Amino acid sequence: MNANQEKINGLLSNLVNADDYKLQPATSEQIEKFVSIATEKQVPQNVIKQLIELYSIADNYNYEIVMAFHSCSDEIIFEWWSDNRELWLGQRDFHTLRWSDEKFCLGDGSNTSFGEEYEAATLVQLIEICIKEIEKADYFNEDE
């Protein structure tokens, strides 16, 4: 595991409250297919590399709120590529994760991001932004 993979593993593992959120890596065949499509579409290599680091740790990762990533084998990731050169990385409720204009972003269907503080240079930073939003929601620590 490289440093980014360790960071991704640590961040996502710290969110896990139950077996429902078990980290499941993509298969090598799934990753090869993703790389083939992304390369054909001329997705920047540094973006492909970061996404491979995620998918090799957690493919199709869905958390209870805010953060969910499509499986690397789901071609919906590339749905917006031909129009806007954007990657649709995932969706959870109204939260949309994407790569657009050289940034990883947390936004919604109408907004690429919710603002500059929701834009990141790296995928790891986007995951950290999502975790801050999860913590703000205080979802699992509500008084009963």
Q: Is residue 18 part of a domain?
A: yes
Model-level pTM? 0.91
| Torsion (CA) 107, 110, 116, 117 in degrees, nearest 10 | -30
Q: How many domains are there within the chain? A: 1
Q: Is residue 98 part of a domain?
A: yes
Q: Is residue 144 part of a domain?
A: no
Q: Is residue 88 part of a domain?
A: yes
Task: Give the residue numbers spanning the domain of 116.
Answer: 3-138
Q: Going residue by residue through the chain (144 aa), what tens digit of pLDDT does each one get?
A: 899 999 999 999 888 765 566 789 999 999 999 999 999 999 999 999 999 999 999 999 998 889 999 999 999 999 999 999 999 999 998 999 999 999 999 999 899 999 999 999 999 999 999 999 998 886 555 554
Could you tell me if 60 and 69 are in contact, meaning their C-beta atoms sit under 8 angstroms apart? Answer: yes
Domain CATH code at residue 51: 3.40.1580
Q: How many residues does the chain have?
A: 144
Q: Is residue 143 part of a domain?
A: no
Could you tell me if 70 and 61 are in contact, meaning their C-beta atoms sit under 8 angstroms apart? Answer: no
Q: Is residue 8 part of a domain?
A: yes
Among 80, 90, 81, which Cα is nearest to 55's?
Answer: 90
Among 79, 77, 74, 116, which Cα is nearest to 97's?
Answer: 77
Q: At 42, is the secondary structure helix, strand, or coil?
A: coil
